[in-house]
């Protein structure tokens, strides 16, 4: 925006200044001051003296509610000035009572109709004029001093501003006394308000009536007075402490902070820069006066810059453009007609508009309507302006940039070996339009992309791959084209797992086709070498007969590319082992339970014997003792060198045999010898045992179903003793395998 924008100070500044009214009467009112002098020549009434007229200007915030000027009607105190000579700590003149000041308002600069200032911004200037006759002293400097507390507490750049007073002083050097020098005088008071982020240009120069050389600089304002000694009387002697700036943001040479700094030209006193921080800032300006290279005088102004956020009231603005500062950029990819909608503000301050477009004609095209529809001659770059209130002081300008691009003709080509799997090389054939091409984006159809101009891409799977190229020029215009890459090569090498196989029938194998590229659209022909084949990609096959087999596979792509490979003697199917064994044809029984087995197997290298439920072994020709009788299953499992197995089971009959013996007589006479008539022998496994002993009259005298129980010569083994004699018996039982047994005889009882 141009520098003539109308600026409206934000409410924040007014609030900031209004807050000052809450400080006590001995503070929060001083915002600056300075002291100068004029030498009126020798004092005729006091020979050897010069007559001086001093002017002191003190500035206060009249809206802040602080104390009024010293010596003014109704003032808190009368102001005093003290004079010191050289380094003496005793005043040369202890007290000069200041006359009432001439008070005037310093109004904000309203010469620019584009600046609006809040009504509560108020600065007063109090001018004190007093006269002194001072002896000319060729060796010492006069120090004329005024001190007063205090500054505004809202000051931003120094520590404890509400506790910091001010000293306004001027020095009259011996040379200045001898030559009756006049001090420089500042030409203008700084602007009451300056705006954040708006350029500041202020001529802070001074005028010297003697024509001496003046050097300007920022310097540190002086302290003086305090809340406990508001108006020192007499004023304190030099040297004077300076205000303490808050580091690292602020210093005497950088009182407004920011980056870049606001600076002052040492030769001209011109203050320039752009304040970037809002607030109230104490600033010191020193002016040194040189004559013939000698410093003869120095004056200092101490003042307060009020920096506030300002908002433009007149702001040239256009809708929908890309805004950067005061420029608006519009782009189009082929369309040459634009409608510019004016959104400038504040309309109450706007009287007229002027649009101007440079379209390569003799004179620019101009329009004075609020909004404009413009058709440009064709592709290219155009510029223009929209001026609000053209020809007036309160104006603003928007710069317009229009870029129109021709459509991008997008195209590409690709190359690859049709039948051999390998990379595809893509070449961009797009034609540049008005603006240079800047970006390329390839989509290869398989999920992969590239931003290279001419990429190389390798597909992992066959197919008809849709490829899209999107090209973008420097204006952001986009062109897109598509193509199909028919990529059906045959594999460069046919790879199949397993790479070999040795086994026994029936052998089921999975032939895993690891060749790429291959998919279901390819014709695959397998020959397994045993008269069988298939068209699956990765088939299963069962070899049932022993033999050595060649395997071959043929691959044909959908576009006719062909490859094949034969794997000779690839599958080795060995004959199965034959399990067999023998054992002697003996009669095996519980009295002869040990059997010797002899292996008769063919092609066996491992033997696993299982002896019914009673044990096992891996010996080739084992011997085994059966712990029980019965029809025993003996299984032999044999394994040959390739892990194939065969088995056979045979029955070994271990017959359960019994022995049964009975005595002829027994003697139950309690001598513990031959006391019972009972059976002896091995009769495990018998059942249904029945023993009956009868008297000669046929009476049963003893019976039992337990073969181990004997007769003790008593009736049922519990009655009275039976007489000696011969007693018939009958014994019946069933053997272990169900064969009946009967024994009859006589038991002779003898006592």
Q: Which domains does the chain have, with CATH numbers?
A: 7-310 (no CATH), 314-405 (2.60.40.10), 412-487 (2.60.40.10), 496-572 (2.60.40.10), 581-640 (2.60.40.10), 665-749 (2.60.40)
What pLDDT band is residue 282 in, cutting at 50, 70 and 90? Answer: very high
- pLDDT the model gives residue 263: 95
Q: Is residue 7's pLDDT more than 80?
A: no
* pLDDT confidence band for 8 (50 / 70 / 90): very low
Cα(639)–Cα(645) distance, integer angstroms: 4
Q: What is the pLDDT of residue 74?
A: 77
Q: How far is residue 450 from each of residues 237, 477, 481, measured CA to CA in Å? A: 80, 19, 15
What six digits make up the tokens of 313?
């009231």
Residue 296 pLDDT more than 90? yes
What lies within 8 Å, CB to CB, of 748 at 6+ separation is 664, 665, 666, 725, 726, 727
What lies within 8 Å, CB to CB, of 277 at 6+ separation is 156, 196, 249, 256, 257, 258, 307
pLDDT bracket for residue 376 (50, 70, 90): very high
Indicate whether 659 pLDDT > 50: yes
pLDDT recorded at residue 197: 84
| CA-CA-CA-CA dihedral for 226, 228, 234, 238, to nearest 10 | -40
- Least-confidence region, from 282-291, 376-385, 389-398, 683-692: 389-398
19 pLDDT exceeds 50? no
Q: How confident is the model at residue 643 (pLDDT cuts 50, 70, 90)?
A: confident
Segment 584-604 shows an average pLDDT of 94
Site of tokens 């010898």: 673
pLDDT confidence of residue 317: 94
116: pLDDT confidence band, cut at 50, 70 and 90? low
**In this predicted model, which residue has the larger pLDDT, 108 or 535?**
535
User: CA 141: distance to chain centroid?
Assistant: 69
**Distance (Å, rounded) from C-alpha 251 to C-alpha 297?**
24
Q: Which residue has the higher pLDDT, 97 or 227?
A: 97
pLDDT value, residue 112: 52
Residue 486: the pLDDT is 94
Residue 393 has pLDDT above 50, yes or no: yes
State how far the Cα of 728 lies from the Cα of 693, in Å rounded to an integer: 6
Mean pLDDT of the chain: 90
Q: Span 262-290, mean pLDDT?
A: 95
Contact (Cβ atoms closer than 8 angstroms) between residue 741 and residue 660: yes
User: 346: cis peptide before it, omega within 30°?
Assistant: yes
- Checking phi first, is residue 671 left (phi over 0); if not, alpha (psi -120 to 50) or beta? alpha
Helix, strand, coil percentages in the chain from 3-state DSSP, rounded to 5:
5, 50, 50
Over residues 408-437, the mean pLDDT reads 92
Nearest residue to 144 (alpha-carbon basis) of 240, 13, 5, 30:
240
Given a contact cutoff of 8 angstroms between Cβ atoms, the answer to whether 166 and 146 are in contact is no
* Euclidean distance between CA atoms 611 and 594, whole angstroms: 12
Amino acid 6: pLDDT:
43
Residue position matching structure tokens 């600026």: 7
Residue 23's pLDDT is what?
Answer: 33
Question: In this predicted structure, what is the pLDDT of residue 117?
Answer: 58
Is pLDDT at 66 greater than 50 in this prediction?
yes
pLDDT tens digit sequence for 710-725: 999 999 999 889 999 9
More confident residue, 546 or 118: 546
Q: Given this model, what pLDDT does residue 382 score?
A: 93
Strands (E), 657-738: 665-666, 687-694, 700-704, 725-734
- In 187-336, DSSP assigns E strands to 193-195, 200-203, 206-207, 213-219, 263-264, 270-273, 279-291, 294-308, 310-312, 322-324, 327-333
| pLDDT exceeds 80 at position 313 | no
Of the chain, the end-to-end C-alpha distance in Å amounts to 153
Q: What pLDDT score was predicted for residue 277? A: 92
pLDDT digits (tens, 9 = 90+) for 498-549: 888 888 888 899 999 998 899 999 999 999 999 999 999 999 999 999 999 9
Q: Band of the pLDDT at 2, cuts 50, 70, 90?
A: very low
Predicted TM-score of the model (pTM): 0.49
Pair of tokens at residue 480: 């897109």
Greatest alpha-carbon pair distance for the chain in Å reads 197
pLDDT at 118: 58
113 confidence band (pLDDT: 50, 70, 90) = low
Q: Evaluate if residue 558 carries a pLDDT over 60.
A: yes
The pLDDT assigned to 220 comes to 96
Higher pLDDT, 8 or 148: 148
High-pLDDT (> 70) share of the chain, %: 94
pLDDT above 90 covers what percent of the chain?
A: 70
pLDDT digit string, tens, across residues 214-268: 999 999 999 998 888 888 999 999 999 999 999 999 999 999 998 889 999 999 9
pLDDT of res. 115: 56
pLDDT, residue 75, reads 76
- Collect all residues with Cβ–Cβ distance below 8 Å to 339 and sequence separation of at least 6: 371, 372, 373, 374
């Amino acid at each position: 925006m141009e520098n003539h924008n109308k600026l409206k100070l934000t409410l924040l500044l007014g609030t900031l200044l209004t807050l000052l009214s809450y400080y006590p009467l001995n503070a929060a009112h001083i915002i600056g001051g300075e002291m100068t002098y004029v030498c009126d020549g020798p004092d005729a009434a006091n020979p050897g003296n010069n007559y001086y007229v001093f002017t002191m200007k003190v500035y206060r915030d009249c809206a802040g509610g602080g104390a009024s000027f010293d010596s003014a009607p109704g003032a808190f105190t009368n102001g005093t000035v003290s004079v010191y000579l050289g380094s003496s700590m005793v005043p040369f003149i202890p007290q000069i009572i200041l006359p009432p000041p001439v008070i005037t308002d310093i109004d904000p600069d309203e010469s620019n109709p584009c600046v609006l200032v809040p009504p509560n911004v108020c600065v007063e200037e109090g001018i004190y004029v007093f006269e002194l006759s001072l002896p000319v002293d060729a060796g010492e400097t006069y120090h004329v001093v005024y001190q007063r507390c205090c500054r505004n507490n809202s000051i931003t750049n120094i520590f404890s501003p509400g506790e910091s007073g001010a000293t306004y002083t001027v020095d009259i050097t011996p040379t200045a006394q001898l030559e009756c020098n006049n001090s420089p005088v500042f030409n203008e008071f700084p602007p009451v308000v300056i705006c954040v982020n708006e350029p500041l240009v202020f001529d802070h120069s001074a005028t010297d009536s003697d024509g001496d050389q003046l050097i300007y600089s920022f310097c540190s304002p002086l302290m003086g007075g305090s809340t406990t000694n508001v108006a020192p009387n007499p004023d304190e002697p030099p040297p004077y402490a300076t205000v303490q700036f808050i580091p690292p943001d602020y210093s005497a040479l950088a009182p407004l902070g920011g980056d870049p700094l606001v600076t002052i030209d040492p030769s001209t006193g011109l203050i320039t820069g752009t304040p970037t921080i809002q607030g109230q800032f104490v600033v010191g300006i020193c002016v040194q006066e040189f004559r013939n290279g000698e410093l003869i005088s120095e004056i200092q102004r101490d003042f307060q810059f009020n920096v506030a956020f300002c908002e433009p009231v007149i702001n040239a603005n256009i809708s929908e453009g890309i805004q950067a500062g005061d420029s608006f950029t519009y782009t189009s990819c082929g369309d040459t007609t634009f409608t510019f909608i004016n959104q400038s503000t504040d309309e109450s301050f706007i009287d007229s508009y002027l649009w101007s477009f440079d379209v390569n004609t003799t004179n620019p095209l101009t329009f004075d309507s609020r909004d404009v529809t413009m058709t440009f001659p064709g592709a290219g770059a155009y510029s223009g302006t929209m001026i609000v209130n053209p020809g007036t002081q309160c104006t603003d300008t928007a710069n317009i940039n229009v870029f129109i691009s021709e459509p991008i003709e997008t195209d590409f080509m690709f190359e690859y070996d049709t039948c051999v799997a390998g990379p595809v090389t893509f070449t961009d054939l797009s034609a540049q339009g008005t603006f240079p091409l800047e970006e390329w984006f390839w989509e290869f159809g398989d999920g992969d992309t590239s931003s290279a101009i001419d990429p190389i891409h390798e597909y992992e799977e066959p197919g008809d791959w849709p490829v899209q190229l999107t090209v973008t020029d420097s204006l952001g215009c986009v062109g897109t084209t598509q193509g199909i890459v028919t990529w059906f090569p045959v594999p460069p090498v046919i790879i199949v797992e397993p790479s070999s196989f040795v086994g026994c029938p029936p052998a089921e194998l999975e032939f895993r086709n690891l060749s790429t590229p291959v998919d279901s659209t390819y014709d695959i022909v397998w020959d397994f070498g045993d008269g069988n084949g298939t068209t699956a990609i990765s088939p299963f096959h069962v070899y049932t007969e022993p033999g050595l087999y060649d395997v071959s596979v043929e691959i044909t792509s959908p576009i006719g590319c062909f490859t094949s490979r034969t794997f000779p003697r690839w599958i080795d199917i060995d004959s199965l082992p034959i399990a067999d064994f023998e054992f002697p044809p003996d009669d095996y029984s519980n009295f002869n339970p040990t059997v010797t087995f002899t292996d008769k197997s063919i092609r066996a290298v491992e033997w696993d014997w299982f002896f019914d439920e009673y044990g096992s072994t891996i010996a080739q020709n084992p011997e085994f003792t059966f712990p029980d009788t019965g029809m025993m299953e003996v299984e032999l499992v044999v394994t040959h060198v390739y892990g194939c197995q065969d088995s056979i089971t045979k029955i070994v009959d271990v017959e359960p045999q019994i022995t049964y013996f009975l005595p002829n007589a027994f003697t139950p006479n309690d001598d513990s010898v031959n006391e019972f008539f009972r059976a002896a022998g091995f009769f495990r496994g018998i059942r249904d045992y029945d023993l009956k002993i009868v008297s000669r009259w046929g009476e049963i005298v003893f019976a039992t179903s337990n073969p181990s129980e004997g007769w003790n010569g008593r009736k049922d083994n519990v009655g009275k003793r039976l007489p000696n004699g011969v007693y018939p018996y009958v014994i019946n039982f069933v053997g272990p395998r169900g064969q009946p047994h009967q024994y009859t005889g006589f038991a002779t009882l003898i006592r």
